[in-house]
Amino acid sequence: MADDNEKKVPKLSGADKAAILLLSLGEDTAAQVLKHMGPKEVQVIGMQMASLRNVAKGSVESVVDEFLEKVEEQTGIGIGTEDYIRSTLRSALGEDKAGALIDRILAGANTKGLDTLKWMDARAVADVIRFEHPQIQSIVLSYLDPDQSAEVLRLLPEKVRVDLAMRISALEAVQPDALQELNDIMEKQFTGGGSTQSRQIGGVKTVAEIMNFMDSANESLIMDSIKETDEDLAQKIEDLMFVFDNLVDVDDRGIQALLREISTDTLIVALKACEDEIREKIFKNMSKRAAELMRDDLDAMGPVKLSEVEAAQKEILTVARRMAESGEIVLGGGGEEMV
């Protein structure tokens, strides 16, 4: 709900809070925290830290107070440690950013072999796998997070994208020997030890997640080509995909929970090019004052590049997917093209 305090202390995303908290801790402490983060967390939070300018005192106090409140709720050092880690990281990073980092810390994951690829930018990964067998390429793309896979796929030759998408959809559990062999191939380039276990990677859901991070043009090209080859497979993929306008199917409580996790600036850009129905759904779940302010901001906003609108919508969808996976909201609909 909006009130006078909202104007004094801007609404902050999880990444904003993490950046402010780390800057408040000082250089040495922040460096120690970042050492334990995964590649995407470091990149996202680092960019946020670099972009912060003239942060209001009230915003800093609010972030630190929220963090301290979570810490004070814990049972103490050595007692309920796992719950402490989960609660503290969620407080610092927000639910959508904390999940992967929590798993990395609690599982004791290393960054050897295949895991090294997650620290590399998409172009470097594409160069590493460009001349590998398509089956190896498909396993690597399944192993990476969907957003990174989408970036890599965009950088590979157009003629192989559809083949890789279909190979990924056909993947199931990869046997330990095969995964270890692939891990060894990566280690030859990156050195280091590391172990592998049989794991479930690939499948139709993985393709759908990757498609959700593709830009609209490439997504349409790949999906149209898959339809020509296997219409049933294309339908299964689309059934597992959802786009921004599908948020209209989320219940009011879910929309309210989602709005608490995204920044106002991101939301305004995302609403610049969407159906009236989804706009009204969003406005209905804000206070009257906040909705009026956002309508005015939208009316006053000049032209915005379609790529910027799509990026904002993708950012919101990423939060929505993570919240859905954790059971905080329930998503419905899917398969329509983004506008």
For residue 99, is pLDDT > 50? yes
Across the chain, what does the average pLDDT equal?
Answer: 76
Low-confidence winner among 28-32, 230-234, 294-298 (lowest mean pLDDT): 28-32
For residue 108, is pLDDT > 90? no
- Cα dihedral angle (281, 284, 285, 291), rounded to 10 degrees? 110
The pLDDT-based confidence of 329 (bands split at 50, 70, 90) is confident
What residue ranges define each of the domains in the chain, with the CATH number in brackets? 4-107 (no CATH), 113-240 (1.10.220.30), 244-325 (1.10.220.30)
Residue carrying structure tokens 């963090």: 67
Single-letter residue type at 305: K
The per-residue pLDDT for 190 is: 58
For residue 269, is pLDDT > 80? yes
DSSP labels for 250-269?
A: S-HHHHHHHHTTS-HHHHHH
Residue among 205, 173, 161, 219 at smallest CA distance from 321? 205
Average of pLDDT values for 132-139? 87
Average of pLDDT values for 116-143? 85
| pTM, to two decimals | 0.47
For residue 102, is pLDDT > 60? no
Q: 185 versus 269: which is more confidently predicted?
A: 269
The per-residue pLDDT for 156 is: 92
For residue 96, is pLDDT > 70? no
139 three-class SS: helix
